[in-house]
Structure 1
Amino acid sequence: MQHIVVLSGSGISAESGLPTFRDVGGLWQQYSVYDLASPDGWRADPGLVLEFYNTRRQQARQAQPNLAHKALAELEQYCTVSVITQNIDDLHERAGSSRVLHLHGEINKARSSRNPDLIYSLDEGDIQLGDHCEEGSQLRPHVVWFGESVPELPNAAEICRQADHFLIVGTSLQVYPAAALIHDVPPDVPITVIDPSEDLDVTGARIIRKTACEGVPEWAREIQEKVSPSGPDN
């Protein structure tokens, strides 16, 4: 089967009503991103950081997968589809995608603030001060903060090297090191970018200047017709 690799960013979730990190609005506008999402911010005021991520978690749980998420999930009937996402929500999974790698962590998980190997599902709960791991340290969001390494980056790069088609959607390719993954895609692999911005230009890529909800279903139908014009069983 053809292997479709997707790099998704906040733009795809924004169409489900989720604000991007810098557009959370409200009382959070008075804080810098480093107050809310960095090791220094955590050390200075862990309660504030937990409150911020609890708010974001509630927003993510209320959001629903959109047409773009669903189109990528449905494409699994015809291709192997690997989604590498910069998003910390679970909208890809709830849409039905079965191969999702979260570069920047997952909002619905917590981990030990001392032992990164101790990771816990939050189910419907949140994280409060005084919530400890089994070794006694405070739980923190299972996300990658500014200034931290990206542990999943080598795995993401390996997935990119196995692509037959590479799709970029919902990201302006301004966030590193995720943006550098495009250089791990083999040179003969077609790259498509779906983004409505007139300013975005990626050398050698096909640019579809539409929103994710408009462009992804159309692109997915094109792929489907190429690999299986008569249906998923052919």
Structure 2
Amino acid sequence: MRITVLTGAGISAESGLATFRASDGLWENHRIEDVATPEAFARDPALVHQFYNMRRANAAAAQPNAAHHALARLARHHDLVLVTQNVDDLHERAGSPEVIHMHGALDRARCAACGHGWPAPAVMLPDDPCPACAAPATRPDIVWFGEIPRHMERIWQALEESDLFAAIGTSGNVYPAAGFAQHAGRHGVECVELNLENSVNALDFDRRILGPASRTVPAWVEELVGG
């Protein structure tokens, strides 16, 4: 079976990582406009690096949970395309062989001048030189608000060619990911949502499974894998 899975903040929340945006409009006590836009980086790169250094440390200290491990198991039994909005590496550490990070990754750095990418150190500073061009333009390799998500052509194709699409722990608020179920459904793909509560776009799904990801995802994978 060909399966495309999208994961969001809800799957990492059970590993202790803060969800994308709290009800008070803050993200780990910062306004998104101050830490997650190109304009914020241009205005105060030190603050942005401080914020992502903290997130990088938090992600490194977190451990994959049962949902991450279940998806790694699913990949061993079915043709799985695993797409995540998350920037942590918990899927990889759980054993998933390939993960498409549409919003970038905390463990990567990128040069804002030449575009070169490299493994991020634990602590990044605004004056860090690029290994390729030496420009002091090091930034987190993260897709910020106002920037284009990665690997979209590959993701759209996977959705069209799948037998099943599942969205796990996503709010349904952030596009283009919020449109994945509609796109898959137009191509006759069965769509299932696994979430703590119905997402904003819950009606785009044929089936909804509510509850914590660490419980619902292993049970769902067991249905698909058996034994």
Task: Please say whether Structure 1 and Structure 2 have the same fold, judged by a TM-score greater than 0.5.
Answer: yes
The aligned amino acid for 2:224 is I
The aligned amino acid for 1:181 is F
C-alpha separation in 1, matches of 2:205 and 2:31: 36
Following superposition, the deviation at residue 77 of structure 1 comes to: 2.4
Q: Once the two structures are superposed, what CA deviation does each residue of 1:63-108 show, in whole Å capped at 9, x if it has no partner?
A: 0000000001011221121111000000011101112100100000
Can you give the 5+ residue segments of structure 1 that lack an aligned partner in the other structure? 226-230
| 1:14 corresponds to 2:4 | no
| 1:115 corresponds to 2:89 | no
The aligned amino acid for 2:102 is L
Q: Which residue of 2 aligns with 1:125?
A: 122
Do the aligned residues in 1 keep the contact of 2:171 with 2:199 (CA within 8 Å)?
Answer: no
Q: Once the two structures are superposed, what CA deviation does each residue of 1:91-138 show, in whole Å capped at 9, x if it has no partner?
A: 01110111210010000000001222x11012x522112211121222
C-alpha separation in 2, matches of 1:13 and 1:46: 26
C-alpha separation in 1, matches of 2:158 and 2:172: 18
C-alpha separation in 1, matches of 2:199 and 2:71: 25
Following superposition, the deviation at residue 189 of structure 1 comes to: 1.9
- The worse-fitting range, judged by mean Cα deviation, of 59-68 and 202-211 is 202-211
Secondary structure in structure 2 of the residue aligned to 1:12 = helix
Do the aligned residues in 2 keep the contact of 1:72 with 1:220 (CA within 8 Å)?
Answer: yes
Following superposition, the deviation at residue 28 of structure 1 comes to: 5.4
Q: Which residue of 1 aligns with 2:203?
A: 202
Aligned sequence identity (%): 38
Q: Which residue of 1 aligns with 2:72?
A: 73
Secondary structure in structure 2 of the residue aligned to 1:92 = helix
Following superposition, the deviation at residue 173 of structure 1 comes to: 1.1
Secondary structure in structure 2 of the residue aligned to 1:147 = coil
Shift in alpha-carbon separation, 1:204–1:45, aligned structure 2, 3 A: closer
C-alpha separation in 2, matches of 1:56 and 1:44: 20
Question: Cα RMSD between the aligned structures?
Answer: 2.0
Shift in alpha-carbon separation, 1:212–1:149, aligned structure 2, 3 A: same
C-alpha separation in 2, matches of 1:27 and 1:86: 15
TM-score normalised to the size of structure 1?
0.88
Q: Which residue of 1 aligns with 2:214?
A: 213
Residues 40-59 of structure 1: pairs in structure 2 closer than 5 A: 40-59=39-58
Residues 125-204 of structure 1: pairs in structure 2 closer than 5 A: 125-133=122-130, 134-137=132-135, 138-185=137-184, 187-198=187-198, 201-204=202-205
The aligned amino acid for 1:170 is G
Can you give the 5+ residue segments of structure 2 that lack an aligned partner in the other structure? none
C-alpha separation in 1, matches of 2:75 and 2:31: 40
C-alpha separation in 2, matches of 1:37 and 1:90: 19
Count of aligned residue pairs for this structure pair: 221
Q: Which residue of 2 aligns with 1:60?
A: 59
Do the aligned residues in 2 keep the contact of 1:153 with 1:178 (CA within 8 Å)?
Answer: no
TM-score normalised to the size of structure 2?
0.91
The aligned amino acid for 2:46 is G
Do the aligned residues in 1 keep the contact of 2:105 with 2:141 (CA within 8 Å)?
Answer: yes
Q: Which residue of 2 aligns with 1:228?
A: none
C-alpha separation in 2, matches of 1:203 and 1:168: 11
Shift in alpha-carbon separation, 1:7–1:27, aligned structure 2, 3 A: closer
